[in-house]
Chain A
Amino acid sequence: MGEMPGLSRRTFVFGSVAVAGGVAFGQYGQAQQAPSSAAATNPLMADLGPQSVTFNPWVEISPEKITLIAQHADKGQGVGSIQPLMIAEELDLEPNQFEIRFAGPSPAYFNTGFAHELAPFMAPDQSPEAEKARAAALEWLRKAGLQMTGGSSAIPDTYEKLRMAGAIARETLKAAAATRSGVPAADLRTEAGNVILPNGTKIPYVALSADAAKITPVSVDKLRDPSQWRILGKPMERLDIRSKVTGEMKFGIDRTMDGMVYAAVKLNPNKGQPIKSYDASKAQSMPGVQKILKVSNGIAVIATNSWYAMQAAELVDCVWEPSKYPAEQADHWKTVASSFTPQFLAKEWRNDGNIDTGLKDGTLIEAEYRAPYVGHQPLEPLNGIGIVTDKGMEIWVGHQTPQSVQYIAATAIGMKPEQVTFHNEWMGGSFGHRLEFENIRVLAEIANQMRGTPVKLVFSREEDFLQDIPRQIAMGRCRGSVKDGRIVAADLKVAATAPFKELLARMGSPSKDPDGQLGVGIWNVYYDIPNYQATSFEVQGLSPSTTWRSVGASANGFFTESFIDELIHAAGLDPLTARIEMCRIPIYRKLLETVGEMAEWKGPLGRGKGRGVAFVESFGTAVAEIVEVTMTDAGIRIDKVWVAADVGKIVDPVNFQNLVQGGVVWGLGHAMNCELTYAKGAVQQTNYNHHESMRMYQCPVIEVRGLENDFTVRGIGEPPVPPAAPALANAIFAATGKRIREMPFNKFVDFA
């Protein structure tokens, strides 16, 4: 396939083909210090035991056991299971024949999955220029060596490389067995952790480790066809399910260490600002309290257990340096509203046809949309264990960017990143929270004052809310026109704080480029609208913001798909049929048709019921959703949601369904019920009673269908989120005639 059907090149090429940093990836400072060939080295070599072998950074075999390395961190999305299983598929291991270990920091684990997101071409574009740009982006990523879990990239990153890692290990073990047995490798086969000779003799892999270590890993040029898969692509049990049901699973917060002390903190809720002074006299005499320490942005209490520490921290009177951003929420919105000016222009992402002429040609529709700050608030609060000695720091913490943990911790205590030894943990959720560093920085500062003693830090829920760097605040100003039953023009302008760009700066890799996330959801829109403009403005001087499950598209998708719905209604069209007819990408049209079939869409329902549809592509994965609501005496009830998503290849179908359902709940729950607002420089919501998201009683039935038409393998962690809010808003409009243009929706309607 060459050009995109029905689209001119011009629509797809933005700026030059030179890509590095083109979508605000910045210069990855720390990693650049690594030798350029580092990606080719294997970090497992460093600690390899005697008689042991490692074939690549993902497989290690000793005489006792087989260890498979999970390079992407597991925050609940299931990659702690599927990564080793992708290796096991080719290595011919059964799920109970290996141990799983999370990767330490190394450029060998650079994330190839970001290449598509980096290249400034739309996801469905398979033109040579697009592929060339992706290849260039991949090369840049290889050099940068950035190891990061995020951006729904785990499966795109690992789908080939982990199966290849398994295949190379298998073939090398066969070569070792061939040498030992004198039987040609071609006559050997592998099954369940054994190399099997033609006479049926089994040689366990672990018995071959020493021999295999002596030979160069065999190169493999072909992976097994999916039709031969034993494990992948079929319903399977996630390897972490049982331990999570029996309570045996140890999350970071569950780890203990001999001689450890417990810490709790009270930090300046004016984010980024230091503490001025404090009075700990009341806290000092509390039971269990051992010490009260000052850290740069607050205080820490050291106690004999977490509860004592939290109780005492509450009682420390602190005087804070005031915020640099506006103290009151209304002023945040004023700043956003005043940012639609050339001074704050980040990027004009698209300018198709002639927007000025188009807007004059037909009935003009204008609307303003808002998306507030929202919290991440995974149920496991921020925590970590750290021990600092004169030599360095060792830290145990669940995090999505190991190298940045080293950088942040080292910087906080005047050490070098390589002096920080990082151990990842199973995480009780993240949603973007564990890409940030509030716990890392303060843990390093505390442990540095307690040299030689392991310190376990647990944030109270209230502290976690107060320090949670929220989703970007965003406003959409939309104009469009309709004429003769057609959408003639759409002009989408978004002003927002820059979540990913800010995160990069905090990671020590500032970028001068516009934040690509501000464009997602307004530029990658696939409708046939002759005059189309998409522009983002970067809001300055507000609360720090960061990536929140689905990032830019979580706000922009709501704006675009709600406003397109307004235009469709103004044009007198059916919301689903119009989208299908306007959609230029055949496989995306198929998704809209599929979701329509699933819901048996036949137009308006009447009798207090309404349905809304939305379609958003984010991180390359297109998702179509239909939401059905009913007006009840108690308020609006969401009855059902239908979802069709295309990831090219589904490797774990049960988990795929679970993640899609969870993404819909995430998208709906926050759109309905959540915002974070500032007063006196601090967030006003400090526990779940103020920020409920969705609970069981509001959760609809969610029917999921996965398609496999896309040309490459895509992720599913985030993409189901963005269509949920607009599909719900569109359903509420269909049921009530009321158009909701601001999240959370519960400010405007009651939900049952």
Chain B
Amino acid sequence: MFKRTSAIARKFDLQGSVIYLGFIAIFLFFAITLADDGFLTTRNLSNIVLQTAPATIMAIGLVFVLSAGEIDLSFGSIVAVSALAAAVVMQEHSMLFGILAGLGAGLAIGWINGVMVAYLRLPSFLVTLATMGLFAGVARSMTDLRSIPVLSDTFTGFFGSGSFFGIPSLVLWTLAAVIVGHLVYRESRFGAHVIATGDNARAAQVSGIKVPRLRLAVLMISGGCAGLAGLLYAGRLQAAKYTLGESDLMTVIAAVIVGGTALNGGKGSVIGALVGSLLMGMLNNGLILMGLSVSDQMIVRGLIILLAVAISLRDTTRA
């Protein structure tokens, strides 16, 4: 039994490293083939990090949700509602109220999801599938499909285009979210409880973990992360629109899974999610720079993700 456990642990390590090896391999491939096409320029590499910042932050929230054995499909819609809430509030009020409105909207929707999942005992897949559509509709009706400009330079600098000590603010947000996320996930008791609950909710309950409260918490974390991602989008685009976040759902799920988080709970990695998200961004970037047609970009990206997932899953089943 012990041997088997350690074998599983070794396999998990191997699986965990697939994403890093894959990332390095693809990076080297682009670095060599696109050496003359600007791929390795500081500007382009920083673009990749900047472009993936909102997705990375959504991915961190999703790591907690998936690790707890739940899922959140609504975060894309939360991004739009939060960005619009912030932009609308800032038309009349100060930046601080805008930020509070954006983050508050994210946390509130996360709370709604969480209450239904944790206390009404509804499956998170169906709850968040429903709220995904519901809040996509709310985002559309909030401003009658109009885009709302964000005119505060302080806001756009803080959340989008600015930099502190020469480091772009989006990079700092990504770093901060990854560090906090990683520490909470790996080093705190809460993180351990999340993993324990995702691994075996009944056992977690018996051992004294307040499972419903934990489920509420992870969905609020996801909502809060999506709210922050909404602020970053609004800062970056200097405007908010109902389409923000809409197309991120599959990219973020893929980034998280490729990054070593189990779809059925009990295992995850915040660093893996970061690398997964950067991998997705790097693929988008590199395939465009290669001059591929749009259809070919989609095909190649799909194949690479499939390959990454296949390698990860194969290791799991062998273990």
Q: Do A and B bind each other?
A: no
Interface residues of B (CB under 8 A from A): none
